[in-house]
Structure 1
Amino acid sequence: MPASAASSRPASVTALRFGRVAVTGVLAALILLGGVWGSWGTAQQVMLSKGRERGTVRVTRCAGHVCSGAFTPGSPGARARAVVKIAQPVAVRRGRTYDVVVKPGTDEVVRSGPGGVLYAWVPFGGALLLASVVVAGGMRLTRAGWVLAGCGVALLTAAFVAV
């Protein structure tokens, strides 16, 4: 009985293929985990805002990568502050008012609402794009790679439009 092509493949080729898929799968998982880790610091402030101080900030000054302004409380238990800071002022303009959440124990605020949630997850969107290359190239799963890339592009585009 002649041996089929699949059964005559050396075990070393199969082991190498499994090793490549396993290593690139772990790498893709680490990239995605890093994206979630990078996003969660800000996303938890915005998404889990129950019990946190919420309100608005009127931006009066921007210098470098920080803008500041007066905080007006909008939730029970929130206190007014003369100056709060918004780090990384993406689409923050002097003279405008933004809905924000105060980081506990600080005078730093992050944007809230849909724009704030989407902006908080931008690092994860970048991780999705990077992981798509690893999945498509290293694991040879092109459809899964395209799905990851599509999700990353959708997230980044939505954040760009919302902010």
Structure 2
Amino acid sequence: MSPKKRTSVLPFARVTAMALVALLLVVAGVWASWGTAQHVLLSQGREHGTLTVTGCGDEVCTGRFVPEDPTPPRTDTTIARSVAVEKGGRYAVVVKPGTTEAVRTGWAGGLHAWLPLGGALLLASLVIGGGLRWTRGAYAAGAAGGALLVAAFFAL
């Protein structure tokens, strides 16, 4: 008779915990990105135009918004301050509904909106490679996150 083989629960618990951490990182990246990305991706029916930045504070820049529609321009429109927004710059934007806050459109705006997801994919690749020991999945997640960050850098 052969002795019964004992199986430990620890390897399964480790894999489950690491998979949940990796999933949490990616979901958090999508959640953080979606707040801005939805206005860039689903911009049909929203107010489009050009924003000329006239001044910047610590967190936001304000400027003159000239809509594509035949409505009068506004001077109270704001955009989040980042390295991609500078005083005197002209940007194609879409205005968030019900606010005076603008978001950049086009490739540059879309890639900028998904930056949190790129960082989350890079962090998740460490968990996937180190905790789960799935090297191909780690390389794929890291390459996708890195490509997103590099593309956003060059687009902005």
For normalisation by structure 2, the TM-score amounts to: 0.93
Q: What's the CA shift string for 1:89-112, capped at 9, x where partnerless?
A: 331121121000101111110111
Rg larger in structure: 1
Q: Does 1:158 align with 2:151?
A: yes
Cα–Cα, structure 1 residues 94 and 23, in superposed 2: closer, same or farther, change >3 Å?
same
For normalisation by structure 1, the TM-score amounts to: 0.89
Counting matched residue pairs gives 156
Could you tell me the percent identity over the aligned residues? Answer: 51
What is the CA-CA distance between 1:80 and the residue it aligns to?
2.4
Instruction: Quote the residue 1:116 is aligned against.
Output: 109
Q: What's the CA shift string for 1:88-137, capped at 9, x where partnerless?
A: 33311211210001011111101111000000000000100010011111
Unpaired runs of 5+ in structure 1?
none
Q: Does 1:11 align with 2:7?
A: yes
How large is the Cα RMSD of the aligned pairs? 1.7
Deviating 4+ runs (over 6 angstroms): none
Q: Does 1:38 align with 2:28?
A: no
- Counterpart amino acid of residue 118 in structure 1: L
Greater shift, 52-61 or 15-24, is seen at 15-24
Q: Does 1:27 align with 2:32?
A: no
Aligned partners of 2:110 and 2:102: how far apart in 1?
A: 13
